[in-house]
Amino acid sequence: MGIETEARNFISEIEKLHTIQDIDVAKSKFLGKSGILTQEFKKLSALNSEEKISFGKKLNSIKNQIEEAINNQVKFVKKLELDEKLQAENVDITLPVNNEFGSLHILSYEIKRIKDEYKANGFLILDGPEVETEFFNFDALNIPKYHPARQSQDTFYIEGFPETLLRTQTSCVQIRAMQEKGLPLRMISIGKTYRNDQLDSTHSPMFHQIEGLVVDYNPINIGNLKDALNRIVAFVFEVDSDSVLLRFRPSFFPFTEPGMEVDCCYSKENGNIKINKNGNKWLELGGAGMVHPNVFKACGIDGEAYGFAFGFGLERLVMLKYGINDIRSFYDTDMRILKHYSSISNN
């Protein structure tokens, strides 16, 4: 077979190849070191000069045709590959959407639920800064300078800013609220608080508190406090207020007089807590009391004023409510836990 016929066959073969590798293999078969055309070029040296010119011309023209055929085929295959890739990446906008939306974290969900309820009942829902001054976090709350809670092992002070700290309690919002709004006032504040505690299953250096304050120039008594506590416990645990039995233990909070710790009666059934009056256990909720006159004074409130306040740790309540036994579960990003509790909250 003459070289021209071989070249024609080769060109028609090349046009059938659909991968770059196949083209490369074919190319070296024809143009490679021991390729068909290379062998033909080697014959040139044995020819006389006239034959060399005409045969050389012929070979060069074949070489050009072959190279052109190869280049065209490479271009064609590359375009084919690109088309295939685009086709594969094509987004089908008619496909149904993934309807797995995000959901509220269980703490956010409970915070929202409490805020919505108290807003609907005429309470102001207030926030305060998490970076506070000693005045709002301690002084105005009648907490003396020598009080151990002020020490830096409990309180995170902000370096370089004197008398500035991460608030250790939401009670400071009471002060800001009374200073700004005056009396009468009914408010709820829920927010983050910080204490220099080691992180373990029941402690966290950051946790949330629910603060309540009801103050007026008209008399408010401890019975009103008891009623308010009864209602919030019933609401948080989603039980009837008739099944709530509270116990008050005298305690010292400098911003209350009298001050008390509040416990709630419950029993344990199948590992879950059940709030009821006939239970055999007491659950510690937090602190409460009647607002101390010095607190009114620090807020610039003149004359006879009355009121009560309470402050509970939110994580503790939510842990008891849902049977969560490790506070760290709230802040870890374990999707199994987050999804499990979000499905409860979104039903």
CB of 214 to ligand DAH, least distance (A): 11
CB nearer to ligand DAH: pick between 126 and 288: 288
Name the E strands within the chain.
Answer: 124-125, 131-133, 164-166, 185-194, 206-216, 246-251, 256-269, 272-275, 281-291, 306-313
- Which H helix or E strand runs over 61? helix 49-89
CB of 167 to ligand DAH, least distance (A): 10
Which residue stretch of 40-48, 128-136, 269-277, 304-312 sits at the interface with ligand DAH (rule: CB under 6 A)? Answer: 304-312
Query: What angle (nearest 5°) sits at the alpha carbon of residue 225, between those of residues 266 and 149?
Result: 85
191 binding ligand DAH? (CB under 6 A):
no
> Among residue numbers 41 through 100, which ones bind ligand DAH (CB under 6 A)?
none
Contact pick of 69, 309, 317, 318 for ligand DAH (by CB under 6 A): 309
CB nearer to ligand DAH: pick between 65 and 230: 230
211 binding ligand DAH? (CB under 6 A):
yes
CB nearer to ligand DAH: pick between 305 and 309: 309
171 binding ligand DAH? (CB under 6 A):
yes
Q: How many residues bind ligand DAH (CB under 6 A)?
A: 13
> 303: left (phi > 0), else alpha (psi -120 to 50), else beta?
left
CB nearer to ligand DAH: pick between 38 and 251: 251
Residue 127: how many CA atoms within 13 Å on its side-chain side? 7
Which residue stretch of 7-15, 150-158, 277-285, 309-317 sits at the interface with ligand DAH (rule: CB under 6 A)? Answer: 309-317
Q: Which residues pair with 157 in a beta bridge?
A: 165
256 binding ligand DAH? (CB under 6 A):
yes
Contact pick of 137, 155, 169, 189 for ligand DAH (by CB under 6 A): 169
CB nearer to ligand DAH: pick between 74 and 149: 149
User: Going residue by residue from 278 to 297, which x/- string records binding to ligand DAH, judged by CB under 6 A?
Assistant: --------xxxx--------
CB nearer to ligand DAH: pick between 6 and 216: 216
310 binding ligand DAH? (CB under 6 A):
yes
137 binding ligand DAH? (CB under 6 A):
no
CB nearer to ligand DAH: pick between 73 and 189: 189
Name the E strands within 69-195.
Answer: 124-125, 131-133, 164-166, 185-194
- Are the C-beta atoms of 295 and 173 separated by less than 8 Å? no
Which residue stretch of 2-10, 14-22, 23-31, 305-313 sits at the interface with ligand DAH (rule: CB under 6 A)? Answer: 305-313
> 160: left (phi > 0), else alpha (psi -120 to 50), else beta?
left
Cα 80 from Cα 15, distance rounded (Å) = 13
Cα 257 from Cα 275, distance rounded (Å) = 28
Strand-strand pairing, 124-125 and 185-194 = parallel
134 binding ligand DAH? (CB under 6 A):
no
Spell out the residues 6+ positions from residue 107 whose beta carbon is closer than 8 angstroms to its own.
Answer: 208, 314, 315, 318, 330
CB nearer to ligand DAH: pick between 142 and 256: 256
Cα 140 from Cα 146, distance rounded (Å) = 14
List residues binding ligand DAH (CB under 6 A). Answer: 169, 171, 211, 253, 256, 259, 286-289, 309-311
